[in-house]
Structure 1
Amino acid sequence: MGIKPLDLKKIQEIAGNTYEAIVIMAKRARQINDERKIMFNKRLEEMRALKAQQQASSEEETPKIVDDERVLKAPPEQVKIAEEFDRLPKPTDVAIEEYLEGKLTWNYEKQKQTKIKQE
């Protein structure tokens, strides 16, 4: 993966200043990452349920031997799913692309104004 230069002037034009643009893109990248984590866990749970169902249907009483190497390795279905998700573009790259293409919208929170009573 190489370094990809960004046009800072274009970034500043969209949001007003660089810091604001970075915060917007970072928040979107976190959203994308959270969505992917939910998808990953859902797919992993589906695979585990399917595997448990298959094991229940072919229930055989055999002694289970666990050696140290098998305990340390991740289940193959988890490795397969993880490799699929590793091939996806990084959340920051997706967020930057969405920002530059104008696909992101953002709102500013209204700050509460407090009045100080003078005595």
Structure 2
Amino acid sequence: MANPSLITRDTDKIAEPVGNVYEAVTIISKRARQVSTKVKEELSQKLAEFASSVDNLEEVFENREQIEISKFYERMPKPTTVATEEYIEGKVMFRKPDIE
């Protein structure tokens, strides 16, 4: 059985803004990379607060907070889903270089 969170997309609708489904996928993938990088930086900054070179009993309790932060980020929508939604809603800015 397919994952219920999967959405079938109309490729014609995706290709409409640029006229080519492959260009659209390229734009979406570049945006997904930007989203992924931003989320990864946020997560790294939050987890850096817990970085310690000494293991002790107190750290075990602090790890619970670290685990909760990690679980929050795991439950977030995937970057490709975010980028696709933004593209379909017209929120992604892109430009084509002039062909000479």
Asked if Structure 1 and Structure 2 have the same fold, meaning a TM-score greater than 0.5 normalized by the shorter chain, the answer is yes
Identity of aligned residues (%): 39
Q: Which residue of 1 aligns with 2:89?
A: 101
Correspondence 1:33 to 2:36: yes
Gaps of 5+ in 1: 56-63, 65-69, 114-119
Relative contact order, higher structure (CA 8 A, sep 6+): 1
Q: Which residue of 2 aligns with 1:117?
A: none
Gaps of 5+ in 2: none
In the alignment, the residues of structure 2 paired with residue 7 and residue 109 of structure 1 have an alpha-carbon distance, to the nearest angstrom, of 26
In the alignment, the residues of structure 1 paired with residue 23 and residue 39 of structure 2 have an alpha-carbon distance, to the nearest angstrom, of 25
Within 5 A, what are the aligned runs for 1:31-110?
31-46=34-49, 48=50, 75-109=63-97
The secondary structure found in structure 2 opposite 1:15 is coil
- Aligned residues, how many? 90
RMSD: 2.5
User: How far does residue 78 in structure 1 lie from its aligned partner after superposition?
Assistant: 3.1
1:11 pairs with one of 11, 14, 17: 14
TM-score of the aligned structures, taking structure 1 as reference length: 0.65
In the alignment, the residues of structure 2 paired with residue 35 and residue 5 of structure 1 have an alpha-carbon distance, to the nearest angstrom, of 26
Correspondence 1:20 to 2:23: yes
